[in-house]
Amino acid sequence: MGSTGLARQVSCSFVIKSDWSLDGDLDEFFQIFDDPLSLTSWWAPVFMRGEMLAIGQENKVGLTARFYTKGLLPHTFQFSARIDKIDETGVMRI
C-alpha cells in the first residue's frame, strides 16, 4: 500500500519522579512559583510558556502551574506541577 501523506499523531502519558536538593531561600522559590511566566525569561531555551492553574493556599500548598518545555530532542512537552506539601524545614513535595 502506498503512503497517504498523512502523519499519525500519537499521544502518551507517563510519570517522571525526580528528587532535587537546591540551595536557596524558600522565598526565592516562592517567587518563581508565584510567577511561572518568569521561567521563560531566565531559562528561555527550555521553558517556552508557563501558566498558573491554581494559586493554592496562603502557604502555597496547592499552587499548580502548567509548563510547556522543549529540550535537545525535537520534541516539546507539557506538564503540570503542584505543591503538595511543605514541611517545617522547607522541604517541598511538588
Summarised one tens digit per residue, pLDDT across range 22-65 is 777 777 777 776 777 788 887 888 889 888 899 899 888 999 99
Nearest to 64 by CA among 78, 51, 53: 53
Distance CA 81, CA 28 (A): 17
In this prediction, residue 22 carries a pLDDT of: 72
Q: Which three cell numbers stand for residue 40?
A: 521563560
Average pLDDT of the residues in 70-81:
87
pTM of the model: 0.68
| Average pLDDT value over all residues in the chain | 81
In this prediction, residue 20 carries a pLDDT of: 73
Distance CA 52, CA 64 (A): 6
Does residue 71 surpass a pLDDT of 90? Answer: no
Nearest to 62 by CA among 72, 52, 75: 52
In this prediction, residue 13 carries a pLDDT of: 73
